[in-house]
Amino acid sequence: MIGETACREDGYKPARIGICGGHSMGLKLIRLTKEYKNQLGEMLDEWRADQELNHTNHSPWAIFKNDYHDFNYYLEHLEVKDAKEGLVPDSVFFLLDEDRNRLLGAVNIRHYLNDYLLKEGGHIGDGIRPSERRKGYATEMVRLALIECKKLGIDRVLMTCDKDNVGSAKSILKNGGVLENEFLNEDGNIEQRYWIDLSK
């Protein structure tokens, strides 16, 4: 929905995202620093309240695994630095709307796949805070995350989502995702596996 400004009949409100010389105006991926402590708390409070109310999934898990109230601990343990206990090293980025100085979502990039991630999970876990959904931000965040994947040397990116997670599936497809297969996961949901080729 890049560059669209009008609202659609189905309630979808595209973000005011413009592309200028390959950069999204006003939107960028940032790493968490103390400067964003207040914005982080404000976003996670909203997000957690919605999860409890609507029982929505906790993606990306990395930003919910620790309590942000102890900010120094949260920051120090946000990323997995060394492989351990089934976890691989990862990078966590937040989507910042510079115009509003507001965090909109987050993305977790796993640097390589282990057996579990190859089956489900993939390289990228992402989420947009509830109040900012259906405005095109996930699609844009995945696009920006793929640039980070390329920098990490990942040429084929695996992304997975539940088949009924239409927003996630569309954000993957709009970024070049090609469906490899679907399978029934342990939660009883049909999960889809998409590959995005960054080698060209």
Residue numbers of the site for ligand COA (CB under 6 A)? 1, 12, 56-57, 59, 126-128, 133-139, 161, 165-168, 170-171, 174
* Cα separation, 91 vs 79, whole angstroms: 6
Query: Least distance in Å: CB of 72 to ligand COA?
Result: 27
Q: Name which of 152, 28, 51, 165 is nearest 100 in CA terms.
A: 28
Burial string for 5-35 (b: 16+ CB within 10 Å, else e) reads eeeeeeeebbbbbeeeeeebeebebeebeee
Query: Least distance in Å: CB of 95 to ligand COA?
Result: 9
Considering the complex, state which of residue 68 and residue 135 has its C-beta at the smaller distance from ligand COA: 135
Considering the complex, state which of residue 49 and residue 166 has its C-beta at the smaller distance from ligand COA: 166
Residue nearest to ligand COA (CB): 167
Query: Least distance in Å: CB of 183 to ligand COA?
Result: 15
What single DSSP character describes residue 166? H
Considering the complex, state which of residue 127 and residue 177 has its C-beta at the smaller distance from ligand COA: 127
Q: How far is CA 47 from CA 67, 106, 127, 136, in A?
A: 13, 11, 10, 18
Considering the complex, state which of residue 12 and residue 71 has its C-beta at the smaller distance from ligand COA: 12
Query: Least distance in Å: CB of 122 to ligand COA?
Result: 9
Considering the complex, state which of residue 35 and residue 167 has its C-beta at the smaller distance from ligand COA: 167
Query: Least distance in Å: CB of 157 to ligand COA?
Result: 13
User: Which residues, other chains included, contact 151 with Cβ-Cβ below 8 Å and sequence gap of 6+?
Assistant: none
